[in-house]
A and B are shown apart, each in its own frame.
Chain A
Amino acid sequence: MKLIANIGLAVILFCSSPASAQVKPGSASLKISGEVTKDFAFTKDDLRKLDRTTAILKDRDGRDVPYTGVSVQRLLEMAGVTTGKQLRGENLTKYLLVKCADGYEILFSLAELDNGFNDKKVILANESAGKDLPVDRGPFRIVIEGEKVPARSSFQVVEFKIAFAK
Chain B
Amino acid sequence: MLFYEKSLSSTNKFSCSNCHDQKFAFTDRKVFSPGVDSEVNPRNTMSLANLLWVKNFFWDGRTEGLEKQVEVPLTGVHEMGQSLDASVAKVKKKKFYAARFEKAFGSREITANRIVKAIAQFERTLVSAGSRYDLHLQGKYRLNAEEQNGMDLFFTNPNPSKGVRGAGCASCHGGPKTYSELFQNNGLEKQPNDPDRQAITGLAIDEGRFRVVTLRNIALTAPYMHDGRFSSLEQVLDHYNEHVVQSEFLSPFIKNNSNIADGEKLGLTAIEKKNIIAFLGSLTDSTFISDPRFSDPFK
Contact = CB atoms under 8 A, between A and B. Distances in A.
User: Do they bind each other?
Assistant: yes
Interface string B169-185: 00000000000111110
B83 interface: no
A110 B253 CA distance: 28
Residue in B62, B159, B200, B250 with the greatest tally of chain A CB atoms within 10 Å: B200
A63 B87 CA distance: 62
Contact of A135 (B56, B181, B249): B249
Contacts of A61: 161
B250 A24 contact: no
A24 B184 contact: no
Nearest to A156: B205
A86 interface: no
Interface bracket on A? 20 to 34
Interface of A: 12-18, 20-25, 28, 60-61, 101-105, 134-137, 155-156, 158
Most buried by B among A16, A20, A23: A16
Given A103-B181, A136-B252, A13 B202 contact: yes
B199 interface: yes
A12 to B, nearest CB: 7
Interface of B: 56, 61-62, 157, 159, 161, 180-184, 198-206, 209, 211, 248-252, 255
Contacts of B248: 134-136
A101 B202 contact: no
Contacts of B249: 135-136
Contacts of A16: 61-62, 200-201
A24 B61 CA distance: 21
Nearest to A138: B205
A155 B255 CA distance: 14
Given A103-B181, A135-B249, A23 B203 contact: yes
A103 B202 contact: no
Contacts of B157: 60
